[in-house]
Each structure stands twice: as C-alpha cells, then as structure tokens.
Amino acid sequence: MPANLTADFIKARLKLRQATSPDEKLAALEEMLQTIPKHKGTDHMQADIKKRIAKARGAAGGSKKGRSHSYEHVPKDGAGQVVLVGPPNAGKSTLLSALTNAKPEVATYPFSTLIPVPGMMAFEDIVIQLVDLPPLALDYTESWVYGLIRSCDLALLVLDASDGELLKDEFDELVDQLRERNIHPVKDRPANVEDRVKDIPALIVLTKSDLVDASSIQEAADQLLLPVLSVSGNERDGLDALRAAVFEALDVVRVYTKLPGHKPDMTEPYTLPSGSQAIDAVRAVHREFADRLKYVRIWGSGRFDGQQVPSDHVLEDGDIVEVHLRKQATNS
C-alpha cells in the first residue's frame, strides 16, 4: 500500500536531516509522527519513528543536568492499585481521563506523560486507583517506573488497536521489556510471591477500537495469551466491561458492616483479598477488636442470615458482618 506522505510530513523529515542537536532531532521526529498518514501503508514507518523518538528523548534528556526525578512510591488508595503500562501513544492518558476524574495531559506526540498520574475509578459502590505511567521504551524508561509496576495489584497492558499488523510485535516487545526487569505478566494471581521474579496479574486493553473493525480486533486478540478487552476512551465504548474486568482481576471481596440491632451500612464496604476470614474483617473495622472478639454473625455466605460463625469463616463478596465484642474489664 502506498504511503501517500503529506507535505507537512516531508517538511518535518527535512527538519530532521538538518537537525544538529538532540532537542532539534526530537522535535522533528515528534512532528513526523504527528503528521504521518495513519494507515496500514505507514505502519512500519510509524513504529520506526516511535523507536527513534524513544532514543532521541533519552539523548535529549541525558544532556540536561537535574532533569531526572524519582517517583518510586505512589500511595495506594481504594480497593486496589492498577497501573497503565504501554508503549508511546497507546492511549493510556485518554483511558485514564475517560475512567476517572484525573486530568492527564493528552497529546498526539509521544512521552506526554513524564510522571505517574493517579486517578480514582468508580465501580458500583467502591473506587479503584488507576495510575498512568510514562511509556515503556527501550533505552529511556527510568527504573522507578518498573518499581511501581512491581508493587501494583494489577497491570493493564495498553496497546493501540489501530496499529494493525504491528500490534503483536508491540505486545511482544512490551512483555520482553518487563521480563528483562523480572516482571512477568500473568493471567491469574500467583499463590506464591518471589522477591526477584514478580508475577503481576495483567489484562490487555486495546484502545481506539472505534478506529478499526471488530474482526481486526478479534484477530489481534486471538494472538495474545492474556485476557483482552477492547475500548474507546474517546467514544466511551467498552468502559463498563473494563471496570468489571478490573474488579474481577483484583480478586477482592466487599464486606459490609452492621451494628447489633441496626440496619447494615451498605454505602462504604471494606475491600479484602479473596479468601479473607471473618477475623480479617474484624481487624479491618478496628485492629484492637480482634483481641476482644466474642463472636461474629454473617448475612450472606452463612447457612442462614444472622448465623454465628467461627473467626476462620471464609468471606464472600457482599457478606454483611456483625461484630460482637466482650466487655472491657474496668478497674475498680
């Protein structure tokens, strides 16, 4: 397929040839990516430009003292911390903006995200933290980005569905970069956690699904091993399904509380890892309550509503817990 390059693209390419400094080369490459026609005939050219931008960005940044920053810790919030991981221009920032109230910089050029940008995504009666990370790119991504991925509860591997034939290659490159840092995206939450090699539950999210037909998305999905969801941040397509998939992948349960003789509080549940026991819910309410626990009543997973259960009773999503405590001894 012919590339049909535009006059603006040709001018940008000429600027690149005439550039003498790393910053000038970077600006010209970004302009080339912005002006190149987006179709299958330019897929390989787009991929090559993206790689050259990553290298140029590193050269430009490395020449400026004091430019490097560290953002090794983003405090976790909500029912879980989910990081958005992907190559440049995959649509991560647009996705974060569509799912949360965060206002990341959304631009048509690569590397518009330079620091982690958190936002809170609502799902039914809970919120889940999403963190947009700088893109993964060879020779440029700083080590703290991988540190945030290692510590997250779930990773969304974000890829541009409109990249067509390059989609599988971009996925393989993304996974290779993670594996080089001993981060392995997996489908199911691992039972054992190894310090050096970290298995991270992951979903693949194909963005810009409104720009391609359904058959091409399914063809791409069939080639990938992890669960795949297709969305469009701009058109708000597939976002509800993504929210539900994220909640399921986090593998948590919502537990509600009830005071004896009162109706349960169904507005703000506690979120606990699947497999948590009644005693874990008691500690979530108040750490000191575990030492004073008399018994627990359960509505939901018990044989009948209000059943008194042992402290090791395994909770299920939607359970209501009523905690009964022993009276504290008083000094006479």
The DSSP-derived string for 261-312 is TS--EEEEEEEEETT-BHHHHHHHH-GGGGGGEEEEEEESSSSSTTEEE-TT
pLDDT of residue 64: 42
Q: Name beta bridge partners: 157.
A: 85, 204
Q: Please name the residue ranges forming H helices in the chain.
A: 7-18, 22-35, 43-62, 92-99, 143-151, 167-180, 214-223, 239-250, 278-285
Whether the pLDDT of residue 256 is over 90: the answer is yes
pLDDT, average across residues 130-156: 88
Task: Among 14-23, 58-67, 187-196, name the one with the lowest average pLDDT.
Answer: 58-67
Alpha carbons 62 and 67: distance in angstroms, whole number:
8
pLDDT of residue 66: 40
Residue 194: band (very low, low, confident or very high) from pLDDT cuts 50, 70, 90: low
pLDDT of residue 158: 94
Alpha carbons 53 and 140: distance in angstroms, whole number:
10
Residue 49: band (very low, low, confident or very high) from pLDDT cuts 50, 70, 90: confident
pLDDT, average across residues 146-163: 91
Amino acid at 1: M
Q: What's the pLDDT tens digit per position in 52-92?
A: 777 776 665 544 444 444 566 788 989 999 999 998 888 89
| Token duo for residue 296 | 């627990």
How many residues are given for the chain? Answer: 332
Whether the pLDDT of residue 1 is over 50: the answer is no
In a 10 Å sphere around its CB, with 0-12 CB exposed, 13-18 middle and 19+ buried, how is residue 151 labelled?
Answer: middle
pLDDT, average across residues 1-6: 61
Whether the pLDDT of residue 296 is over 90: the answer is yes
Task: Among 9-13, 45-49, 167-171, 272-276, name the one with the lowest average pLDDT.
Answer: 45-49
Task: Set out the domains of the chain in order of their start, with CATH numbers.
Answer: 7-62 (no CATH), 81-250 (3.40.50.300), 255-325 (3.10.20.30)
Q: What percentage of the chain has pLDDT greater than the value 70?
A: 84
pLDDT of residue 187: 87
Residue 105: band (very low, low, confident or very high) from pLDDT cuts 50, 70, 90: low
Whether the pLDDT of residue 2 is over 70: the answer is no
Whether the pLDDT of residue 15 is over 50: the answer is yes
> Pairing between strand 183-186 and 228-230?
unpaired
Better-scored residue on pLDDT, 315 or 13? 315
Q: What is the pTM of this model?
A: 0.74
pLDDT of residue 311: 93
Q: What's the pLDDT tens digit per position in 203-249?
A: 999 988 877 777 766 776 777 788 899 898 777 889 999 999 999 99
Distance from the first to the final alpha carbon of the chain: 91
Whether the pLDDT of residue 111 is over 90: the answer is no
- The rounded mean pLDDT for the chain is 83
